[in-house]
Chain A
């Protein structure tokens, strides 16, 4: 399997002028296509910072990062936005759907940004919502959906642009166990059947239990990288 994400010697230091906070202290990581990876660690260990850097939302202070074979540390802000749109699917902790759009429109939106024709957008959005089991909710707005359903729409949206991988920042933090189970089933299926790469940051034991690989961070460093039980 070819590598999707490669980082070398990534550090991230906040407020370097006053008292520097070292969020990451040299992270070397390679994630390959089709992996189902959980990044775990206590609060303040640097999970979210690492995820933001891998996701092109933040830039490392030092080090090299390559996504899908492309060095993204040199991209301009706008080029980075386009890169995220085409290569990375995001699932946020707080769902973060567009509240004024229906489930179907939310999924279509990313493809609209990619300037895909309307019929293609529509077809793929319907397929994705079917894949996450929301055929009957396509015309509901986020406020009319449960947390679990919103997060499933978010997963469908993340996949809409056919990204290189999906980044999920604590995706189950606000979900009950039934919804968490459904969501994990969906993601595991997509991983198995479509070789979609998933990278989570999580505290949630239920997620950790399903991961194929568990990377543990502490004080901005990887302290263990082992196979999971999933």
Chain B
């Protein structure tokens, strides 16, 4: 019956209770949506970075990253590539030759990384062809074709079908220059990446370099597959090579991944702190306007523990009505937006600067609902303490006399 009394008590001041319940609903909804949005943003960023730039795993010669020199190729690189292809038929592999050089137009020049690739495997691994905004992919019948990022093309003021000069060092140490024709412009979600990389065919550049070789084998695992076991196997099989995942290749991705859990926790703490004050205020009013009644209850034999418990239940009920509604509305909001995505193309020019996609697919980890349920209960408990203590400090003889 204490539950019945508590339940009916919260509806005595309908408006006041509804205000608190609405605050809980709104708070929970906001936590879910903001968390979903920020996690969605981070996940999209990580996904894009893995897809376009890093893949899941990269294999280099052990000392490649010391100075990324041309001669730091993988020993027997093509044999390794073939072996890996046979061993991991499901995974997508791209063998690359990386050359640091300069791209020059008649108007400007820029330092770039020239990615000499095999068009088929590269496209399978990074979906490069899908990012073409103009022109064609590298699998054209043309001499020295080249893909350039739109941002870089703007900077050096060139356009489709223009010729540019690539200058780099050959294996013999000579400075070599050759003319390449821009057959396509690409645009990924990351403008920084686009302004630093150009793509050419391996077969074209090896003649100019005066030798062959591979610097990098990138491996992307299919969606939904864990890359770690694959990476562990490669590490075991090729102990002399540098095998890294995107997490160590690009520590910012690892950092972003680790913020996923943190975001919801911080949001929850902020919102719950705000809710506590609302709850204390409401329950304090509920106690103060019922002093006489609480005094009567103690007079007729309701002990302090029960009075305390009743105030606690009333507070919990306020939270427990609001929380599921807020969760449901939040869940539906995430459900509706996670498929279609939120189109932020109006702001995407700025977002691309940071490598962020213009469409965000909000997502929350399912555990957030449990976290929130626990957080609401804790909040209600803390919020009820002060009013409940106030209630049991009443002395019935004084409380009854109150008008």
Binding site for B on A (CB under 8 A): 52, 55, 57-58, 77-78, 81-82, 84-86, 90, 92, 94, 96, 98-101, 105, 108-110, 112-114, 157, 161
A105 near B1 (CB under 8 angstroms)? yes
Residue in B296, B301, B302, B304 whose Cβ sees the most chain A Cβ within 10 Å: B301
B12 within 8 A of A: yes
A90 near B1 (CB under 8 angstroms)? no
Distance to closest chain A CB from B45 (angstroms): 53
Give A99 to B290 CA distance when docked, in angstroms.
11
- List 14 additional contacts besides A85-B303, A113-B306; criterion CB under 8 Å: A57-B396, A57-B397, A57-B400, A81-B301, A81-B303, A84-B300, A84-B301, A85-B300, A85-B301, A98-B293, A100-B12, A110-B301, A113-B303, A114-B301
Question: B11-22, CB under 8 A of A: which get 1 and which 0?
Answer: 010000000000
A57 near B299 (CB under 8 angstroms)? yes
| Residues in chain B near residue A98, CB distance under 8 A | 5, 293, 296-297
Distance to closest chain A CB from B295 (angstroms): 9
B8 within 8 A of A: yes
Q: Which residue of A lies closest to B396 (CB)?
A: A57
Give A163 to B397 CA distance when docked, in angstroms.
19
5 A-B pairs with C-beta separation under 8 A: A90-B296, A100-B8, A109-B1, A113-B300, A113-B301
Q: Which residue of B lies closest to A158 (CB)?
A: B300
Selected from A58, A82, A92, A108, the residue in CB contact (under 8 A) with B296 is A92
B298 within 8 A of A: yes
Selected from B5, B293, B301, B397, the residue in CB contact (under 8 A) with A96 is B293
Give A86 to B298 CA distance when docked, in angstroms.
13
| Residues in chain A near residue B297, CB distance under 8 A | 98
Q: Which residue of A lies closest to B297 (CB)?
A: A98
Selected from A57, A81, A101, A109, the residue in CB contact (under 8 A) with B304 is A81
Q: Which residue of B lies closest to A160 (CB)?
A: B300
Distance to closest chain A CB from B13 (angstroms): 12
Give A58 to B296 CA distance when docked, in angstroms.
14
| Residues in chain B near residue A96, CB distance under 8 A | 292-293, 296, 400
B301 near A112 (CB under 8 angstroms)? no
B9 near A100 (CB under 8 angstroms)? yes
Question: B283-321, CB under 8 A of A: which get 1 and which 0?
Answer: 000000000110011111111111000000000000000
B299 near A90 (CB under 8 angstroms)? yes
Give A24 to B300 CA distance when docked, in angstroms.
24
| Residues in chain B near residue A110, CB distance under 8 A | 300-301
B301 near A86 (CB under 8 angstroms)? yes
Known: A52-B397, A78-B303, A100-B12. A108 touches B298 (CB 8 A): no
Known: A105-B1, A112-B1. A99 touches B302 (CB 8 A): no
Residues of B1-55 whose CB lies within 8 A of A: 1-2, 4-5, 8-9, 12
Q: Which residue of A lies closest to B305 (CB)?
A: A78
Give A92 to B303 CA distance when docked, in angstroms.
19
| Residues in chain A near residue B292, CB distance under 8 A | 94, 96
A77 near B304 (CB under 8 angstroms)? yes
Give A161 to B301 CA distance when docked, in angstroms.
10
| Residues in chain B near residue A113, CB distance under 8 A | 300-303, 306
Give A105 to B124 CA distance when docked, in angstroms.
74
Distance to closest chain B CB from A170 (angstroms): 12
Selected from B1, B293, B298, the residue in CB contact (under 8 A) with A81 is B298
Give A161 to B299 CA distance when docked, in angstroms.
13
Give A114 to B396 CA distance when docked, in angstroms.
19
